Amino acid sequence: MKQIQKFGQPTITSTTYAGESAGQFIAAALLSARTLDNKLVTIMPNVKYKSVIQKIAVANIVNDGACDFATSGAVTLTEQVITPKELQVNLELCKANFVASWEALSLGFSAFDEIPKSFTDYLISYVGGNVAQATETAIWQGTSSNGSFLGFQSILSASVAASTGVIAAGTGFELSGSITAANVVTKLTAVQTAIPNSVYGKEDLVIYIGSGVAKAYQTAMSGNGSGGLGANGFNNQMNIGEKELNFQGIPLALCPGLGDNKIVAAQKSNLFFGTGLLSDYNTVKVLDMADIDGSQNFRIIMRYTAGVQVGILGDIVYYGAYA
């Protein structure tokens, strides 16, 4: 994640800000989470409270020709409900701890292209980066605990335990276990094998991996370390830079929020992230407390909503259900 988020630069004429552009700041903070920034899931903005994700399945709709109209096959409608959770940031920061850093940036002592034009923007950028990091983690590992929301791992684990359709087992397929450079190819092969034929080959099919799995795979491909594939991988060119990750033609998407030893194979169109983004729930306030209590403190207040949901559980492969 970039240390300085590239926010839009609003004109702030006072040190206390609470305006209509709040949605811009929330959008920048949320969408800079890698999973969202790279559009690795379907983003549903403007979800005021709840939104229904409808899926349609048809079977046996092609019959022999006849003169009369005859209803053929079966149409099944299923739905999942996404309910973004209301979240907030209430933070008090002492300006003395940040002024030196901001002044250094504003004087040009930085390699970053875009520098916050005001101290207020700098604080929003700082807090926004932390919000993005928390959002990325919650998308995958989140629970219903305070300050988080139910993430994909929780949803998929519960579905596997309840046997409600998530494909997690098959011949030679293990549900959990550590993933290293020595076995990562075997694990990914098992995941690929378990992908339903109806999903395999879809343009938006992705295998999602966390940082640990990505490191193991890069090591294996470079031929460096135990289990490395040597010339069968990247021709031992491990010093030529990061290679685009894919496995047997399926893109591997690095999602830092995904837990260790976890792999998810799914279509982007089957994983949903919902947020109020531009709704009335979005609020950003930066309050300079100097005129209120004489202190050097700034208070930053953010309010936004976020949540995830899965469309068709049976189209997803999840490795690590019980780890």
In this predicted model, what pLDDT tens digit does every residue of 68-90 receive, in sequence order?
777 777 776 677 889 999 999 99
**Alpha-carbon distances of 83 from 37, 54, 98, 214, 307, rounded to whole Å:** 21, 14, 37, 31, 6
pLDDT tops 70 at residue 63? yes
Chain position carrying tokens 């950028």: 125
Nearest to 121, CA basis, from 191, 34, 252, 24: 24
What pLDDT, on a 0 to 100 scale, did the predictor assign at position 307? 94
Topology of domain 22-54+76-152+272-310 in CATH is Major capsid protein gp5 fold (3.30.2400)
pLDDT tops 80 at residue 149? yes
Q: Give Rg (Cα) of the chain.
A: 24
Q: Is residue 42 very low, low, confident or very high in pLDDT (cuts 50, 70, 90)?
A: very high
**Tokens representing residue 169 in the block:** 């087992």
Locate CATH 3.30.2400 in the chain: 22-54+76-152+272-310
N-to-C CA span, the chain: 27
Q: Is residue 49 very low, low, confident or very high in pLDDT (cuts 50, 70, 90)?
A: confident
**For 286-303, b where at least 16 C-beta lie within 10 A, e where not — what string?**
bbbbeeeeeeebbbbbbb
DSSP state letters, 182-195: TTHHHHHHHHHHHS
**Mean pLDDT value across residues 27-49:** 86
Mean pLDDT of all residues in the chain?
Answer: 78
Dihedral pair phi/psi, residue 273, rounded to 5°: -120, 125
* CA dist., res. 34 & res. 214, Å (int): 14
* CA dist., res. 309 & res. 221, Å (int): 33
* CA dist., res. 131 & res. 89, Å (int): 8
**Tokens representing residue 114 in the block:** 């875009």
The H or E element spanning position 58 is strand 51-59
- Rounded to two decimals, what is the model's pTM? 0.78
